[in-house]
Structures are given as structure tokens and as C-alpha cells.
Structure 1
Amino acid sequence: MADDGSTQSTSVWPLPKFYFQVKWDSEVMSFQEVSGLDVEAQIIEYRAGDNPVFSATKMPGLKKSGNVTMKKGVYKSDNKFWTWFSQIKMNTIKRLPITISLLDEEGGTTMVWTLTNAWPTKITGTDLKSDGNEVAIETIEIVHEGITIDNP
């Protein structure tokens, strides 16, 4: 008898990455792409002078997160990126929590990345072409003070 998939384990297949949601503070925004959800521990190399082993020991150091890049379509009268960016004054900016959620087929949350104290560092407007046939896309680069991952 052929397997119809009804008894298949839910842990067999990895999750698709195309159904996600982004919340800025409490507002839900639509994006085409989110990238840069990474974190790393810097390496500290140390070798004591009287160590008989002639190589350095590697230890974990400070944690470092990369900038998160988000891309979305340009809509008429939608200036949220520019409004937030224009609030930058000397050493001050409104910092927001940003939550990125990977969703299942019913729209339930399967994985959540939370950016702490996020603020915009760069905005790239769309390129313009007289013979182009693409949607206008703008990009924002976000700096943050840490990323947490939750699997509800």
C-alpha cells in the first residue's frame, strides 16, 4: 500500500524559509527578504611562556552579531525607514525591539529571532531603470545589541 503521508513524522523535513513575519516594536511590516541573523564568538589566543606545548590555546571571547539587512517593496506614501533614520541625532536614536518569526503553514510561530535595541545604520533606495521590469525595492541595514533565538 502506498504511503499517503498522513502518518509521516513532522520532524523529517526542515522548515521552508519563505513564510515569515517581522514586527517593529508592535507594528507588523512586510518584507521580501531578511538576512544577517548571525552571531559569533571572537577567538582569544593565549600561550603562557613556560608552556611546553609550542602552540596557543584558543578560548571564546566576546560575542559579536552582524548587521541585519531587510528588503521590501516601495509603496506610495510609505516612509517608515526614512522617518526612523531621520531621528538620528548626535549619539541618540530611538532603539526598537525587532522580532522576526518563521511561520508554519497555519501561520503559527515555529522560530523567533529577537533583535535588542535595534536602530538603522544604512538605507539604500531602489535603483531606477527606464527599461526595467522589476518591483522597486528599498533596503535597510539594522544594527542591534544582541540577538536571541526562541523555538516556541
Structure 2
Amino acid sequence: MPTTGARVDPYVSFNFLVELDGIIQASFRECGGLEATTEVIDFRQGGDNTTVYKLPGKTTFGDIMLKWGLTDSTELWTWRRQVIDGQVQRKNGSIVVYDLANRTEVVRWNFVNAWPTKWEGPAFNAQGNEVAVESLVLAHEGISRA
């Protein structure tokens, strides 16, 4: 815990790493979708007509979206292709944030039983000069902050 008056800077969003069981991908341009939502159930108790109680329902987790620059690596495409072929292989993974010096892990989210639900290839434009970007959407069954 920082002392009173000590400056605590937030972590930067560009210094992150994605780990997936058995898949080595050099880096990702973007990672999003870290989300957990708990359904709200309205409950009215008999005899109390003026109050609506709010109870927690089921919790769902948002899909994780990964984007990276097109390279000759085919590991993520192969994983997606297995799903298309009916062979769903689930993997656990982590999203890790590092400090500004890129030396120390400062935050980690672990997700479980992920599998790719969508792959999107790059958009090409002969007049552009942008990096070609692929994307992959992962469904998973839970996320926790370590």
C-alpha cells in the first residue's frame, strides 16, 4: 500500500503479453474483451408491494479478442481450423501486463477453457501502408485476476 501523498501511476496499456497453452506468438497488437457481467434478477416479496429486491443471477464472461500483425506463423490459424473441422481443443491462457521498463509483471488475468470462435483475416489495400492485421475471438469459461 502506498504511503499517503505518494504518487501511484496507472499501468500503460501497450506493455502486455498473451500466453496460451502450447502456442507461441511473438506479440499482439491489441487484446480486448476482458469482461465479466452478473445478471440482475428483480425479486418481489409477497406482502411488500413497494420494494423490488435485486439478486445476483448467472455470471457470463465476454469473448477475448486478439489482433496481431500478419506473419508466417500459423499456430493460431491451425487452432481455429481444428474447431472448423469439429475438433475443439480448449486451452488455458493469461493476459499479463508489465511495468513500463518491461521487466516486472504487475497484473495477470487467467482465463480457462478457451477456444477460437472467429478468425478474421487482414484487409488489403494497394494504396495503403498499414500493417496487415489478423484477429481471433476466443470464447472461454471464466477469468480471474491473479
Normalised to the residue count of structure 1, the TM-score between the two structures is 0.84
Matches within 5 A, 1:67-86: 67-76=63-72, 78-86=73-81
Which among 112, 135, 143 is matched to residue 139 of structure 2?
A: 143
The yes-or-no answer on 1:44 pairing with 2:5 is no
Q: Report runs of 4+ in structure 1 exceeding 4 Å deviation.
A: none
**5+ long unaligned stretches in structure 1:** 1-7
CA contact (8 A) 1:36 1:67 kept: yes
The yes-or-no answer on 1:120 pairing with 2:112 is no
1:99 alignment partner in structure 2 = 94
2:11 alignment partner in structure 1 = 15
Identical pairs, percent: 32
Structure of higher CA gyration radius: 1
The verdict on how the C-alpha distance between 1:28 and 1:109 changes in structure 2, with shifts beyond 3 A counting, is farther
**5+ long unaligned stretches in structure 2:** none
Q: How far apart are 1:27 and its partner, in Å?
A: 4.0
AA in 2 matched with 1:147:
I
CA contact (8 A) 1:22 1:100 kept: yes
CA RMSD of aligned residues (A): 1.7
Larger displacement relative to structure 2 (21-30 or 106-115) = 21-30
Normalised to the residue count of structure 2, the TM-score between the two structures is 0.87
Cα distance in 2 between the residues matched to 1:79 and 1:23: 16
